[in-house]
């Protein structure tokens, strides 16, 4: 007969529930690959799953797609820093996944379902927002270039409203030119940030933006005023310098020793060895402009580059959307 200690141990390494929100591959600080998911263990009880076995990803993805309740055996429970009253579930290669039945229905967690602006602003920082639909209220401010991990990254801040409120959204790199003022979009897989006590949203590696039908959102009155003034001047383009920077798809670290014709490359940040095609290219474009006051070197943002390429002679528009070095 098993001892009480052994019975407790066997009971503690089994959890049951529904699987939600299986993530893509991620990389830990010690270069161990893993992925995450959410386990619904009761009607309104959710726990973070961390799986350190990429071979299990297909199984968890299929369980989420089918909506089946599962029993996870050979797992460990860990203190949850996101929820001090709860726990995280750690899975390994030895974790067994079996289909089971449970006395409650599957319910999508708030972090995976569509939310409103007022619900987003009630969240804490570093929380995932599955989907938010809203209309872009302000996109007149020019984007700017900042240094992140020793690389130039472009960002643009806009505001979106859905009738329940308004929230600021920070768009990074490839997302900068994907929205226009007055149009409605579905913002998927964004995360919250705390900026001076106010919750805002930010894009991430798995984010997406899709234009949708026009939302009937009333105009916000008496809101914050935003300065979108610009300065116009004439100049002659003397030269254009284009520099390609490769960034790790996992940690976004800019690579300095990347060889374009290589088959594989080890990231200089997270040290993960990946196929060369996994390192996303970004383009840093500088223009040398000649004015009556002399020559100036400017960095062209994504928006200004797009208009420069399509309207070669429209220099004034390009200059409106540049950031001085």
Q: What is the pLDDT of residue 4?
A: 43
Cβ-in-10-Å burial (0-12, 13-18, 19+) of 254 comes to buried
Interatomic CA distance for residues 17 and 171, integer angstroms: 35
- Domain ranges in the chain are 4-100, 114-211, 236-324
Residues lower than pLDDT 50 in the chain: 1-11, 221-226, 228, 312-325
What topology does CATH give the domain 114-211? OB fold (Dihydrolipoamide Acetyltransferase, E2P) (2.40.50)
Q: What is the pLDDT of residue 81?
A: 67
Lateral strand order in the sheet of 236-247: 236-247, 280-291, 294-300, 322-324
Residue-wise pLDDT for 55-75, tens only, equals 999 999 999 999 999 999 999
Altogether, the residues listed in the chain come to a count of 325
What topology does CATH give the domain 4-100? OB fold (Dihydrolipoamide Acetyltransferase, E2P) (2.40.50)
Q: What is the pLDDT of residue 49?
A: 93
Could you tell me if 149 and 255 are in contact, meaning their C-beta atoms sit under 8 angstroms apart?
no
Q: What is the pLDDT of residue 257?
A: 86
Q: What is the pLDDT of residue 6?
A: 41
Q: What is the pLDDT of residue 7?
A: 37
Could you tell me if 89 and 47 are in contact, meaning their C-beta atoms sit under 8 angstroms apart?
yes
Angle at 283 between CA 135 and CA 178, to 5 degrees: 10
Q: What is the pLDDT of residue 109?
A: 81
- With DSSP H G I counted as helix, E B as strand and the rest as coil, what are the percentages for the chain, rounded to 5? 15, 45, 40
The answer to whether 4-100 and 114-211 have equal CATH topology is yes
């Amino acid at each position: 007969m098993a001892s009480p200690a052994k019975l407790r141990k066997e009971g503690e390494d089994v959890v049951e529930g529904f699987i939600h929100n299986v993530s893509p591959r991620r990389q830990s600080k010690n270069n161990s690959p893993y992925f995450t998911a959410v386990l619904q263990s009761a009607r309104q009880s959710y726990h973070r799953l961390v799986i350190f076995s990429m071979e299990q990803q297909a199984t968890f993805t299929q369980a989420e797609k089918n909506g089946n309740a599962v029993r996870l055996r050979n797992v460990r429970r860990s203190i949850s820093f996101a929820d001090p009253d709860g726990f995280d579930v750690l899975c390994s290669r030895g974790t067994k996944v079996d289909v089971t039945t449970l006395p409650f229905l599957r319910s999508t967690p708030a972090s995976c379902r569509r939310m409103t602006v007022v619900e987003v602003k009630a969240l804490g920082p570093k929380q995932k927002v599955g989907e938010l639909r809203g209309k872009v209220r302000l996109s007149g401010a020019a984007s700017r270039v900042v240094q992140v991990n020793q690389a130039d990254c472009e960002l643009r801040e806009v505001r979106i409203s859905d009738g329940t409120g308004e929230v600021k959204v920070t768009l990074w790199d490839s997302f900068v030119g994907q929205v226009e003022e007055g149009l409605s979009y579905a913002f998927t897989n964004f995360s919250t940030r705390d900026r001076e006590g106010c919750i805002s949203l930010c894009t991430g590696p798995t984010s997406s933006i899709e234009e949708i039908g026009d939302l009937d959102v009333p105009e916000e009155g008496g809101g914050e005023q935003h300065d979108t003034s610009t300065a116009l001047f004439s100049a002659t383009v003397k030269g254009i310098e284009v520099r390609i920077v490769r960034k790790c798809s996992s940690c976004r670290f800019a690579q300095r020793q990347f060889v374009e014709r290589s088959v594989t490359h080890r990231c200089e940040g997270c040290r993960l060895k990946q196929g060369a095609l996994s390192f996303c290219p970004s383009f840093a474009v500088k223009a040398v402009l000649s004015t009556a006051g002399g020559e100036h070197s400017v960095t062209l943002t994504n928006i200004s580059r797009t208009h420069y390429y399509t309207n070669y002679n429209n220099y004034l528009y390009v200059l409106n959307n540049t950031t001085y070095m």
